Chains A and B, each alone.
Chain A
């Protein structure tokens, strides 16, 4: 019995029964079977490991990888020759004394064709390699009889079998080496085959490609991380249990809000389209654009101040509330218009700068792109914004109605509302599914889901009628967690395939794939930070009468700044590492050349790529740990 079992016996002397022993035994058997099957499935093959040829290949690859081709040397073939008689002349032959430092010695100095000779080379370049050929007297048709690897001092000893080629005349043993020209300290200028002068050694093509691609890799990772963090910061609050736990609503409110949100999205999209048209007209004229640029933000700011006033001591009356609502919509339109106009200005300015700045034209291009991105996300932003406003208004409406009518009437009104909300949501989901699978059957994708949704809505309303609150926050929490966990489980290497289809092969596809994965991963990391912050300050800020948003800004945000910075840097670190392989799937970056070099068996070039990856990842690690120390 093993020590462990004895220890178990000691602690629980009575409970160690025969049954447990049997279970333990079965467990061991199961483990053995599991590993045995694992060996079979993974095709563990020790013969392959010990095979000579495989080992030879491995050694060759390792040696190439160990010698990254950072510099390229021009090489000139150099021959070193020695006379050999096959067969020995009748008069006998004695090799002459070597006159040069680099020379060959053959033992014996003559013999029968086909004999084995020992060839010693002295005075070659250290670690050099080359071929050993047998050259007939006329010099035509030289035959390879062996190869050599010199030691550090440039000496070698090789046994070679000569060819069955007899001749009275002296034949030659020729050792061919490709000698490097120049060294790092004393570069030599060489004329290339194209007739141009170039240095030897010089920075290799592999190094130059690596430099280009590693820069691409770092910036790809930077963009992906920035985009991921920007989206993950607001989303992480949705996935933080401690913030979402307390958000409750009641069935009536929820039903109204669920109805208001799709409406809000629709109105938001419509508004942004209207604003787009208006912006187009304004942009056409420089003066109008300038006027709009001044007016739109001012109107937005003033309207916002009016629409969201500080809370007064007495509640505003319905007319005032209505005014606030209308002005809020005005503020939204002005705000959207303002963003669009600024975006247009960026595009105009950017395209001008692109030409004007010369080699810094990329700054103009960046400005132009920023403008275009801003235009593109305005639609989404305004849809979300208006949806939020509508949901808020719906909530207020529900509270208002609730305070005016009897509880029974409210209850009666809740059922149809819940059924309607369920129907609308289900119909929207149905339409989405119908679009994805191209089902053009209105009954199947609209009416059936609507009916089912209505029934579910009604059922939930009836089931929760006793409860005063529905924990909508926790529902949101679980939904967002599920979505992010799903996204996170798909590796960027897989995601990039989708983006390659969408935006084509290149670093942009890689950046998008990494960004999507970063959003999911960062949301998880961030939200866990939010969950672990001190509750006290939140409680204290809430107690001052702060709104939910103010509480987040004043009590949550200051606490999460250091971990957020730390995690963002960590994610950049991960993204740099990921972007080194994302090129394998067409996502740009250094992975693309690395994969190419491996496929072409250019291991010493691949070695340069890997070296660059190691340097970048290591310095990222160092840098991020330094910054983390600073901020925490």
Chain B
């Protein structure tokens, strides 16, 4: 159970990205986060693994306070939280396998990993994750030689390498075409169904939300404006979330 209470983030320049956001996510749920660009979706997801320090509020996960965690405790939390990014965030010059192995950095001996030594079972696991996303033959290619869809699949494999209990996906399909978008979303769905991993995924397209999410929350200007089942997002709700001028596409 992930519990977010009164979460507020004010950036140094005074921008209020999140304002008193509270919600709960039960184990195994696929939660979609929707809202306009700049509504605070990315900030919200990054506050959960504290890539961004929240200004105020608390986040608790299975009884452990994420907001109060010290550096070591935070590493323990983070390695249980996989993350997938809009721009994949792979290290382009490194091999695909190295990118996937980076997912296990929280688990391995810190000294040996610095000289690029990983236990053989980690290597086997990394190959298995690559096989799962259908890229095992690309393992020893440079990551930037891959197409966008392939890179995102490597991103998913890296996140799964962490054997996470929670997966944060920050607009994972926004830079992909619709066909690839569905393939990535199906990977996430599979992870959610089979591995019982809680997924928090920010999305642009409402039809993707309808199709994949169990639950949805919507942000507008940093405030939580909707919380409920995806089917509840009808045209009226849609205009409430996205503004009066918005029209549904796709």
Contact = CB atoms under 8 A, between A and B. Distances in A.
Contacts of B105: 541, 544-547, 550, 554
A240 B186 CA distance: 40
A20 to B, nearest CB: 35
A309 interface: yes
Contacts of B168: 543
Interface stretch (B13-21, B82-90, B209-217): B82-90
A311 B91 contact: no
A537 interface: yes
B102 A544 contact: yes
A537 B70 contact: no
A543 B81 contact: yes
B108 A310 contact: yes
Interface residues of B, number: 44
B89 A544 contact: no
A168 interface: no
A51 B220 CA distance: 82
Interface in A547-598: 547, 549-550, 553-555, 558-559, 561-562
A299 to B, nearest CB: 15
Contact of A305 (B81, B88, B109, B158): B109
B85 A536 contact: yes
B107 interface: yes
B70 to A, nearest CB: 5
B79 A550 contact: no
Nearest to B84: A540
Nearest to A553: B114
A539 interface: yes
A482 interface: no
A103 interface: no
B131 to A, nearest CB: 20
Contact of A545 (B78, B87, B94, B155): B78
B114 A304 contact: no
A543 B107 contact: no
A554 B102 contact: yes
B49 interface: yes
A163 interface: no
Q: Which of A542, A546, A562 has the most CB of B within 10 A?
A: A546
A315 B89 contact: no
Interface string A291-316: 00000000000001100111101010
A21 interface: no
Given A545-B79, A547-B75, A540 B89 contact: yes
A599 to B, nearest CB: 51
Nearest to B162: A544
A310 B75 CA distance: 11
A281 interface: no
A10 to B, nearest CB: 37
Nearest to A535: B89
Nearest to B88: A536
B111 A305 contact: yes
Contact of A308 (B71, B79, B110): B110
Interface in A295-350: 304-305, 308-311, 313, 315
B237 interface: no
B113 interface: yes
Contacts of B102: 540-541, 544, 546, 554-555
Contact of B110 (A313, A534, A547, A561): A547
Contacts of A558: 91-94
B111 A540 contact: no
Contact of B75 (A309, A311, A536, A559): A311
Interface string A428-468: 00000000000000000000000000000000000000000
A400 to B, nearest CB: 9
B145 to A, nearest CB: 14
B73 interface: yes
Nearest to A468: B53
Contacts of B112: 305
Contacts of B82: 543-544
Given A305-B111, A310-B107, A311-B75, A543 B51 contact: yes
Nearest to A560: B93
Nearest to A309: B109
Contact of B91 (A305, A310, A550, A559): A559
Contacts of A309: 109
B213 to A, nearest CB: 22
A542 B91 CA distance: 13
Nearest to B76: A311
B72 interface: yes
B149 interface: no
Given A310-B107, A537-B89, A561-B93, A542 B113 contact: no
Contacts of A561: 93
B89 A539 contact: yes
A399 interface: yes
A237 to B, nearest CB: 14
A553 B105 CA distance: 11
A539 B103 CA distance: 12
A308 B112 CA distance: 10
Interface in B142-173: 155, 158, 161-162, 168
A559 to B, nearest CB: 6
B106 interface: yes
Contacts of B162: 544-545
Interface in B3-34: none
Contacts of B104: 544
Nearest to B108: A310
Given A544-B105, A546-B106, A554 B91 contact: yes
Nearest to A399: B70
B87 A536 contact: yes
Q: Which of A310, A315, A562 has the most CB of B within 10 A?
A: A310
Given A399-B70, A554-B102, A555-B91, A543 B78 contact: yes
B67 to A, nearest CB: 12
B168 to A, nearest CB: 8
A180 to B, nearest CB: 59
B159 to A, nearest CB: 8
A544 to B, nearest CB: 5
Contact of A544 (B71, B91, B93, B106): B106
Contacts of A559: 91-93
5 contacts: A540-B102, A543-B82, A546-B75, A558-B92, A559-B91
Interface of A: 304-305, 308-311, 313, 315, 399, 403, 534, 536-537, 539-547, 549-550, 553-555, 558-559, 561-562
